[in-house]
Structures are given as structure tokens and as C-alpha cells.
Amino acid sequence: DDKDNVLDLSDPYSKDPPRHPILKVNSSKPFNAEPPPEILTESYITPNEIFFKRNHLPVPDINPDEFQLTVERPNGQNEKVPLKLSLNDLKTKFPRHEVIATLQCAGNRRSEMNAVKQVKGLDWGTAAISNARWAGVRLRDVLLQAGYTEEASKGLHVHFEGLDQDLTGTKYGASISFQRAMNEKNEVLLAYEMNGEPLPKDHGFPLRVIVPGVVGARNVKWLGRIQVCTEESPSHWQQNDYKGFNPSTDWDTVDFKSAPAIQELPVQSAITEPKPGQTVTPDSDGKVTVQGYAWSGDGREIVRVDVSFDGGKTWHVAELFGEKQKQGQSWAWKLWKLEATLPTEDKEVTIICKAVDSSYNVQPDTVAPIWNLRGVLNNAWHRVHISVNRD
């Protein structure tokens, strides 16, 4: 017992779980890692082991038999006795709901922003995004159980508090709008399963929030407490992080109050094969194969992915793969593939991709004009420079 305490004090990360060696580690404490991009697009559903991992704090060690979710009551309704739900309560007293949803870190593709000008944040490549089938209960059902009603004022926010904490006891936290939480269409979940297994430790065991179409940062892991308030979460990550600014805003001039907290994310796509710097040999028909992913926030479906080999002068339409989801509820990515003949005999080629979503949102051409001091929200066209083997 004494020995354990000493261990914890010297290294709060000592209870972190083992991880798959294939992951590229951007930070080990807290653990942040992404899979090799080309493995990401091998399967529509990302296996749990290679699903990108983005922890802000040490992984808490939670005994599932003792776990209780605390849901604070509405004002005046038995306020002193919050709703307490065990894992078994959640699994047996509420309808089970499943959703296939892609999660993306706001910092996905930050390394391309770093290439423009140094930013503050983990140096994510293109794989801080993954897709899983989540199962749990609807947040809406839990809020109704706690006494909240559909008619509750529109301006409210639902706060999520994690059980992960720093050495001073500050816990991870974030919020979404009450409207988003209550609208059935949004399918906001308290998830206890990921791809048919109990949530892995790195993904929030035993319970996490899944907010389809919304930035990873609001999908709070190791969920311990829910509260409904008139203001957004006061947490650092809601107020002073995960917001976008223009490229001329620096750390001396930034006013975090001037920008909205990131919620639903803009349209995104990236090339996963070939890899940057790879030497590609065209097949006997002279064709090369390009693969990648595309996704958009807020349930918008990917309707087209364009690929160019000539700097954007001409564009091929890629073939899209993935399950059809309901209109306005396209929470999952599309994988895409294109086989095409290169337009020139050049030995060096830059491949570009860009996606279009069902609101006809498009990706911007370049990174510099969307560069921001935190390096979030990079959804510029993705470019991969390759060599072509002409022998």
C-alpha cells in the first residue's frame, strides 16, 4: 500500500494501460498517439488498439463495481439528492443505443501548421481521427430521468466532468449545449462500449460521452459528473483552449473570450496512401492508387472527394466507401480510393485531395490563412509529395 502511494506520487501516469507498439507517440505523459495513416484506412471501423489516443491527464484507475455517475438535479427539484447511476443502472434501466461515429482531435494535421509557423500543441500528423461503433444510453434519457424537460430554457449547457485530474485535483471538463444534448437526432451518448467491447482504459473506461459530429475535446472520457448550467463549462479546455483565431492573432493579443468554443468541426479529408516521400511504381496500365478518409462535422455527409495530380488544375472524383447513415446524421467518415493515370511523365508529383460535404462546404486551398496560435482546425487541402518510378 505504501509502495503504491509512493509510485503514484512520483509518477501519476503509473496506472496508464499498455499500448500497441505501432502507435506513433506524440506525448507519453499524458499519452497522445496516432496510428500510421495507411493502417487507418484499412478498415471502416478503427480497431480499438489503433484508435488515436488523446489524453489530457493521467488515466484514472476506476473500479467498475464502485463507479457511480452523478447527475445534478434541476433547480428546486430535490437538488440535494443528485441522481446516482451505477454502471449496472445504466446498462439495465435505460434503452441501449448504438451509433457509428468518427472522432477527430481539433489538432489533427497540426504538423502542417507547424510547417508554416510554430504553434503550441502536440505535433499531430493526419491520423488524430478514427471511427468506431459506440454503445451506451442516450444522454437525453438520463437528463429526463434526472428531472430535466424538453421545455427547459434554450440557452443552457450540459457540463461533463471527467474523473481524470491533475496533481492539484483539477479535473478535465467540457460542455455542449442543452439543445444538442436533448435533440434525439444528435444521438448524444453516454457510452460504455466501443466496437463491442467495454470501453478500453485509454478511451474512458467505464463511461464516456460521445457527441457525434463534435470535436473530440467535448467527448469527455472517464465521465464522473453531469451538471446543467446557464453558462458553458468554466474549464480551461472550454474557455481558454480549443478555439480558433485568425493568423495575425498571437499570444500577446489573443482574447479567448472573443471566439466560440469549437463544437461541430468543418469538412476534412486527407491522403493516407501513398505516404509523403514514397516512391510509387505505376501498375501495368500506368495507374496509381490513392486512398484516404473524408469527414465533416454535425452529421453532414461527404458527397464528393476530388483528387488532383497537377496542382489543382484538373480534378478526379474518388470512389467513396462506408455505411449509409441517415440524412443529417452522417456521423461517420467515408473512406475513399482513386485509381488514375498520372497526367505527366514527371518524376515528382504532388497529390492533392479536397472534400465536399452535403452543405457544399469545401476545404480551403492552403494552411497559412487558417493558421492559428493553437494549431487547431487545419482542414486545408491535403498535399502529399511522391516520387514516381518510371523504370
Site string for a second copy, 178-217 (x = CB under 8 A): -x--------------------------------------
Q: Which is nearer to a second copy, 82 or 247 (CB)?
A: 247
Residue 221 near which of Mo ion, a second copy, none (CB within 5-8 Å, type-dependent): none
Q: Which stretch binds a second copy (CB under 8 A): 86-94, 283-291, 339-347, 361-369?
A: 361-369
Pairing of β 189-194 and β 129-138: antiparallel
Q: Which is nearer to Mo ion, 54 or 157 (CB)?
A: 54
Which of 69, 99, 370, 373 binds a second copy (CB under 8 A)? It is: 370
Q: Which is nearer to Mo ion, 56 or 97 (CB)?
A: 56
Which of 136, 224, 266, 274 binds a second copy (CB under 8 A)? It is: 266
Q: Which stretch binds a second copy (CB under 8 A): 110-118, 168-176, 227-235, 323-331?
A: 323-331
Q: Is 11 in the site for a second copy (CB under 8 A)?
A: no
Distance CA 285, CA 190 (A): 50
Distance CA 368, CA 295 (A): 21
User: CB of residue 259 vs a second copy: minimum separation in angstroms?
Assistant: 7
Which among 218, 73, 231 has a CA at the least distance from the CA of 155?
A: 231
Binding residues (CB under 5 A) for Mo ion: these are: 54, 105-106, 216-217
Please provide the distance, in angstroms rounded to a whole number, between the alpha carbons at the two ends of the chain: 66
Which of 112, 187, 241, 298 binds a second copy (CB under 8 A)? It is: 298
Q: How far is CA 33 from CA 51, 110, 130, 191, in A?
A: 9, 13, 12, 22
Q: Is 378 in the site for a second copy (CB under 8 A)?
A: no
Q: What is the dihedral of CA 41, 47, 49, 50, to 10 degrees?
A: 10
Q: Is 304 in the site for a second copy (CB under 8 A)?
A: yes
Within positions 218 to 247, which residues make up the interface with a second copy, using CB under 8 A? 244, 246-247
Sequence-distant (6+) residues with CB within 8 A of 366 are 380, 381
Distance CA 238, CA 263 (A): 10
Q: Is 364 in the site for a second copy (CB under 8 A)?
A: yes
Q: Is 152 in the site for a second copy (CB under 8 A)?
A: no
Cell of 143: 437528463
Which ranges of the chain would DSSP assign to H, the alpha helix? 2-10, 37-40, 87-93, 110-116, 139-146, 178-182, 236-239
Decide: helix, strand or coil at residue 239.
helix
Residue 217 near which of Mo ion, a second copy, none (CB within 5-8 Å, type-dependent): Mo ion
Sequence-distant (6+) residues with CB within 8 A of 343 are 309, 310, 314
Q: Which is nearer to a second copy, 185 or 390 (CB)?
A: 185
Which of 248, 251, 277, 391 binds a second copy (CB under 8 A)? It is: 248
Cell of 227: 451538471
Cell of 37: 495513416
Query: Which residues contact a second copy (rule: CB under 8 A)?
Result: 154-155, 177, 179, 244, 246-249, 259-260, 262-267, 297-298, 303-304, 306, 312, 314-317, 326-328, 354, 356, 358-366, 368-370, 377, 379
